[in-house]
Amino acid sequence: MTDIAHPLAAPNPHLETSTGLDSRKLAIWTFLGSECMFFASLISTYVVFRNKSLVGPFPHTPWTDPATGRVYEPIIEIPLVTVGTALLLFSSLFIVLALYGAQKGNRKMLLGWLAATIMCGMFFVGMQVYEFTHFVHKGLTLQRNMFGASFFTLTGFHGTHVTIGVIWLLTMFVLALRKQLPAENAINLEMAALYWHFVDVVWIIIFPVVYLMQ
């Protein structure tokens, strides 16, 4: 007795669609297209405001507050974020390997690479949390200046998307552990993987625009 008791079961395989493509996969791509506009609006806001701060701290240059004399170091620190970027990139590789395992019915491959993906994702979120608190210590808050407002909003929403992705992947991992992600249901992991790659691809844009551009 498989599919009624089986969560996330594939609908009746006799289901035919006009394109031959699975509706759920099409739905995820449609959603990702919409999300492009969401992040475009956030990135635009960042680009518009990043050099418009009235006071420091600034991303790449030090600044002394004329009122208090406090020296604010440049906020951006390349090494840490580069590690995070690399982790996120590798996580995309890991999840596509996990998906390969899922599609081939290779549960060990699926579990191993999915675990690696989740670890990378969690490290990335951890890095962001650390980075945020570190920046706050250096004097950059949401309210401080336009750079703070647009930086925390853009990277914060991206980080939220990553967190949701991690929760989604953890759910997939638990399903896989319970042997509820056989090859015929690999599409469920494929949907999660597409979302995960998208979150990575948005970071591919954010990283240079926020951290590297002057």
Partner 1 sequence: MTSHVTTADEHERAHPTPGTYTKVGLVLFILTALEVALYEITFGEHAGALGDLTHVFVPMLLTLSAAKFALVAMFYMHLKQDSRLFTGVFVFPLIIAAVVILALAALMAYHMAFAKSGG
Partner 2 sequence: MATVVGKEALVAGIPAEKTGLWSWITTVDHKRVAVLYLIGSMFFFFLGGIEALLIRIQLVRPDNNFVTPEVFNELFTMHGTTMIFLAVMPMSQIFFNYIIPLMIGARDVAFPRLNAFGVWVFLLGGLFLNASFLFGAAPDAGWFGYANLTSKQFSPGMHVDFWMLGLQILGVSSLAAAVNFFVTIINLRAPGMRLMRMPMFVWMSFITMILLLLAFPVITVALILLMFDRFFGTHFFVPTGGGDPILWQHLFWIFGHPEVYILILPAFGIISEVLPVFSRKPLFGYAAMVFSGVFIAFLGFGVWSHHMFSTGMGPIADTFFSLATMLIAIPTGVKIFNWIGTIWGGSLQLKTPMLFALGFIAMFIMGGLSGVMHASPPADLQQTDTYFVVAHFHYVLFGGSIFGLVAGAYYWWPKMFGKVLDERLGKIHFWLQLIGFNLTFFPMHFVGLHGMPRRVYTYPKGLGFDSMNQWETVGAFILAGGFAVMLYNIWKTWRTAPPAPADPWNGATLEWSIPSPPQEWNFPEIPTVTGRDPLWEAKRQRGGPLPEPQRVSGQGIHMPAPSYWPLVTAFSLPLLFTGLMLASKIGPWGIFIGVATLFFGIYNWLFEPSYTSIPGVKGKGRH
Give the binding site for partner 2 (CB under 8 A). 1-19, 21, 23, 26-27, 30-31, 33-35, 37-38, 40-42, 45, 48-49, 52-54, 142-143, 145-146, 149-150, 153, 157, 171, 184
Helix (H) or strand (E) holding 64: strand 63-64
User: Given the complex with partner 1, which of 103 and 180 has the nearer CB atom?
Assistant: 103
User: Given the complex with partner 2, which of 30 and 82 has the nearer CB atom?
Assistant: 30
User: Given the complex with partner 2, which of 4 and 67 has the nearer CB atom?
Assistant: 4
What are the backbone angles phi and psi of residue 71, rounded to the nearest 5°?
-95, 125
Residue 121 DSSP SS3: helix
73, amino acid identity: E
Torsion angle of alpha carbons 128, 134, 135, 138, nearest 10°? -170
Residue 131 interacts with, from partner 2, partner 1, none (CB under 5-8 Å by kind): none
What residues contact residue 151 under an 8 Å CB cut-off, 6+ apart?
A: 46, 50, 59, 75, 135, 140, 210
Residue 120 DSSP SS3: helix
Contact residues for partner 1, defined by CB under 8 A: 13-14, 16-17, 19-22, 25-26, 29-30, 32-34, 36-37, 39-41, 43-44, 47-48, 52, 54, 60, 78, 82, 85-86, 89-90, 92-93, 95-97, 100, 103, 184, 186-187, 190, 193-194, 197-198, 200-201, 204-205, 207-208, 212-214
Is the CB of residue 46 less than 8 Å from the CB of residue 154? yes
Tell me how far the alpha carbon of residue 71 is from its chain's centroid: 33
User: Given the complex with partner 1, which of 129 and 212 has the nearer CB atom?
Assistant: 212
In whole angstroms, the minimum distance from the beta carbon of 45 to partner 1 comes to 8
User: Given the complex with partner 1, which of 48 and 129 has the nearer CB atom?
Assistant: 48
